[in-house]
Structure formats: C-alpha cells, structure tokens
C-alpha cells in the first residue's frame, strides 16, 4: 500500500479545505474556485484512496469532517471532487463505524480541557462529568440546573505566569473553550472575566457582556469597569508606564469583534487614557464607573489573524464540549447569537442612556 500524505499533511489539507476553501465558496453564489485549486483537491482525494487512514488519523486530522462538509455543499463543487469524497466517507464508515463518533478527547493529555475541575457551591472539587470518561475514578452525578459552579485548575498553586507583560509566548488568535483553560495556560490570572493585575500594574483584560464600547476609530475601543472591579487602579498605572496589556474577547461580549464561541486572544494594547464618573447602574444605584481607552499595539500580527478564530476544528471541540456536558443553561454558555445577546435590553438601554456622559468631559484622558 502506498504511503501517501502523513497525518500532519492530512490535517493541513483538512484545515485548508474547511477554513479557506469552503468559506470562500459560502461568501457568494457567484464565487468559483480557481481551476488549479480544484485540480489540486481532486488529485489529493484520489491519492487518499491508496493512503492508510485509521481512526486515530481521522481523529487527529478531522479529514472526515472536511469531506462531509464538501459533500453537504456538493452543488458548489465539481462532481469529480464530490464523488471520491463520498466514496471515501462510505469506505471509512464501513471500516470504522459511524464517523460522528470520532471526536477528540478534550479532557485527555494535551486536550483543550486537560486539568480543568469544577468547584460546586457545596465546596467540593470534582472532575468534569464527561460521559466519555467512564474509566475515571472520580465521577459525580449531574448537578441540578439551578446549581451555580465555578472552575479551577488541578495543581495550580504556583504564582501565575500571567503576571508578566507582553505576549508571554502566546500568539494572536489563540483560542480556548473556557476561561479556566486560559487561566491554566497562564494568559490570564483567574477563571472569570476582568483584569489580571498585581501591585506593579495590569497585564491582561478578558472582556465579556457590555464591557467594550466602540469609539469610531480602527483598533481602538473603550473598556468599561465598575469601581468594584479588582485591577482598575493598577490599569491606571499602565497609562503612565505605557505598559501593554493582553486583550481577550469572549463569546458573550457585545461586540462585532467577539468570537462566536469560547474566548480568543486579540493581541497587545496600550492603555492611552482613562476616566471616572459617578453614574447610575442598571438597578438604579449610584456607582463609580471607570472608562479606559485602549489602542492596539502596531508591532504585532494584525487583528484579521485573530478574527479567523475559532476555526472549524475549534468549533468542533466547542460543539463536542456542549454535547458531552449537556448543560447549556447550567453553565450559561453557548454560541453567540448574531444579535449579540439582543435579549439583554435593560443593560443595553442603560449603556445608551449613559453613553453621552461616558464620552464627555466627565472622563479625563491624560
């Protein structure tokens, strides 16, 4: 049997088809791929007929997912591509069973959720109740939907790597399923939104809900934070020190730049200005509100690199996590709607009513 492409080459092909070619075909009905690209895809599929592909290779490369998407939009692809794709899928299914059962072990070694644990309101720490981990010695019954929970990371006792400035080895566009996974890797300090900071200054901001306001300039935005938010005073220090902060956006953020799932690293930003004003919060109480103007640092990968995430592979893992957890309302998580939480009208009305104050001379910009 011919050797053919190795597992890494197969994965590259899968990502190329799902993240580049298919989105291009979906962009418009008149779009057609170049003849040379179609010929390359056709040749690749015919080479696959004599390439050894087992379940582990499929799980790693997600090639079966790529070919399934090709077949689902078959009217946009030539028959010389659709037919061999269907034949390969049938052969793999006969050999290995339902291809939908081939998923990544998110909680296993190297998985996106490796080491994550759940802290229930009873104070007991447990592994995530992943139904695919029946061999785990620590399993708990599913909690009632009303029970609140937070997340932590096993063995996370050392000082956080997040308390350092700069990229810290992360790349623009890096993506995580949950904030706790980002905390595990050391890009933020904590498993919820807010400011990562110590006495020296601030290092990262993870934004959700209504914390970002566009100000009409490219690569700039205004970050809102209550005086109750830990780290506001440290973030002010960055205005004077010119220290850069890492900015992460979550799927619940009311912003056109928010990822449609999970959370994503969007790069380094200068804190170019700040202000504070007494406002009325959404429950009618007086509250001091901080406002920070952030401008994206130029010497780094463009924001367009970040906006490519989550990729098709990352969305696979997000959806698999949601299916195995079977607790969307329990964790209050899901894929962002096109209207960015249009149901949260009370909060948005309050933001609009106070927008004039927030942008006025009531806030200073040093």
Tell me the three-class secondary structure of the chain, residue by residue: CCCCCCHHHHHHHHHHHHHHHHHHHHCCCCCCCCHHHHHHHHHHHHHHCCCCCCHHHHHHHCHHHHHHHHHHCHHHCCHHHHHHHHHHHHHHHHHHCCHHHCCCCCCCCCCCCCCEEEEECCCCEEECCCCCCCCCCCCCCCCCCCCCEEEEECCCCCCCCCCCCCCCCCCCCCEECCHHHHHHHCCCCCCCCEEEEECCEEEEEEECCCCEEECCCCCEEEEEEECCCCCHHHHHHHHHHCCCEEEEEECCCCCCCCCCCCEEEEEEEEEEEEEEEEEECCCCCEEEEEEEEEEECCCCCCHHHHCCCCCHHHHHHHHHHHHHHCCHHHHCCCCCCCCCCCCCHHHHHHHHHCHHHHCCCCCCCC
State the pLDDT at residue 140.
Answer: 24
Phi, psi of 143 (to 5 degrees): -75, 155
Would you write out the chain's pLDDT as a tens digit for each of its 366 residues? 456 789 999 999 999 999 999 998 887 644 578 899 999 999 999 999 999 999 999 999 999 999 999 999 878 899 999 999 999 999 999 999 999 999 888 988 888 998 887 665 544 444 444 433 333 322 222 223 333 346 667 655 455 789 999 999 999 999 999 999 999 899 998 777 799 999 889 999 999 998 999 988 889 999 998 877 788 999 999 999 999 999 999 999 999 999 999 999 999 999 999 998 888 877 888 888 899 999 999 999 999 999 999 999 999 999 999 887 754 344 444 444 333 334 344 444 544 454 444 443 344 443
Tokens of 78: 């030539």
Q: Helices 63-72 and 7-16 sit at what angle, rounded to 10 degrees?
A: 30
Taking phi first (over 0 means left), then psi (-120 to 50 degrees means alpha), and beta for anything else, what does residue 267 get? Answer: left
> Which of 110-127 are b and which e, b meaning 16 or more Cβ less than 10 Å from the residue's Cβ?
eebbebbbbbeeeeeebb
CB atoms within 10 A of CB 301: 13
The span from the CA of 230 to the CA of 197, in Å, is: 8
Whether the CB-CB separation of 312 and 18 falls below 8 Å is answered with yes
Q: Give the list of residues 6+ apart from residue 286 with CB closer than 8 angstroms, or none.
A: 278, 279, 280
State the pLDDT at residue 55.
Answer: 95
Tokens of 235: 């973030």
The span from the CA of 124 to the CA of 344, in Å, is: 32
Pairing of strands 194-198, 175-176: unpaired
Phi, psi of 263 (to 5 degrees): -140, 155
The span from the CA of 28 to the CA of 175, in Å, is: 28
The span from the CA of 117 to the CA of 125, in Å, is: 7
Q: Give the list of residues 6+ apart from residue 101 with CB closer than 8 angstroms, or none.
A: none
The dihedral over CA atoms of 245, 250, 253, 257, expressed in degrees to the nearest 10, equals 70
Pairing of strands 125-127, 116-120: antiparallel
State the pLDDT at residue 43.
Answer: 95
Tokens of 301: 């990968």
Q: What length does the chain have? A: 366
């Amino acid at each position: 049997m011919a050797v053919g492409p190795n597992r890494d080459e197969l994965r590259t092909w899968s990502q190329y088809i799902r993240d580049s070619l298919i989105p291009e075909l979906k962009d418009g009905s008149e779009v057609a791929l170049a003849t040379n690209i179609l010929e390359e895809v056709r040749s690749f599929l015919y080479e696959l007929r004599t390439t050894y592909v087992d379940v582990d290779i499929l799980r790693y490369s997600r090639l079966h997912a790529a070919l399934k998407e090709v077949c689902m939009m078959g009217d946009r692809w030539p028959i010389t591509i659709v037919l061999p794709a269907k034949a390969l899928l049938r052969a793999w299914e006969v050999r290995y069973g339902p291809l939908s059962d081939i998923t990544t072990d998110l909680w296993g070694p190297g998985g996106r959720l490796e080491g994550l644990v759940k802290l229930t309101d009873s104070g007991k720490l447990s592994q995530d109740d992943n139904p695919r981990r029946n061999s785990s010695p620590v399993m708990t019954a599913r909690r009632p939907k009303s029970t609140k929970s937070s997340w932590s990371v096993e063995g996370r006792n050392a000082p956080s790597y997040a308390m350092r400035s700069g990229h810290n080895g992360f790349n623009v566009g890096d993506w995580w399923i949950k904030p706790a996974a980002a905390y595990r890797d050391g890009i933020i300090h904590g498993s919820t939104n807010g400011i990562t900071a110590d006495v020296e200054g601030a290092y990262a901001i993870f934004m959700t809900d209504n914390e970002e306001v566009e100000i009409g300039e490219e690569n700039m935005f205004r970050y809102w934070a209550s005086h109750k938010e830990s780290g506001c005073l440290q973030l002010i220090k960055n205005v004077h020190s010119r220290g850069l902060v890492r900015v992460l956006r979550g799927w619940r953020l009311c912003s056109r730049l928010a990822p449609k799932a999970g959370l994503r690293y969007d790069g380094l930003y200068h804190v170019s200005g700040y202000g504070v004003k007494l406002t009325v919060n959404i429950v009618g109480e007086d509250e001091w509100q901080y406002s920070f103007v952030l401008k994206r640092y130029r010497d780094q990968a463009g924001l367009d690199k970040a906006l490519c995430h989550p990729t098709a592979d990352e969305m696979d893992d997000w959806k698999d996590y949601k299916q195995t957890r079977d607790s969307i309302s329990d964790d209050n998580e899901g894929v962002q709607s096109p209207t960015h939480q249009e149901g949260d009208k009370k909060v948005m009305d309050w933001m609009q009513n106070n927008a004039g104050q927030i942008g006025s001379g009531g806030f200073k910009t040093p």
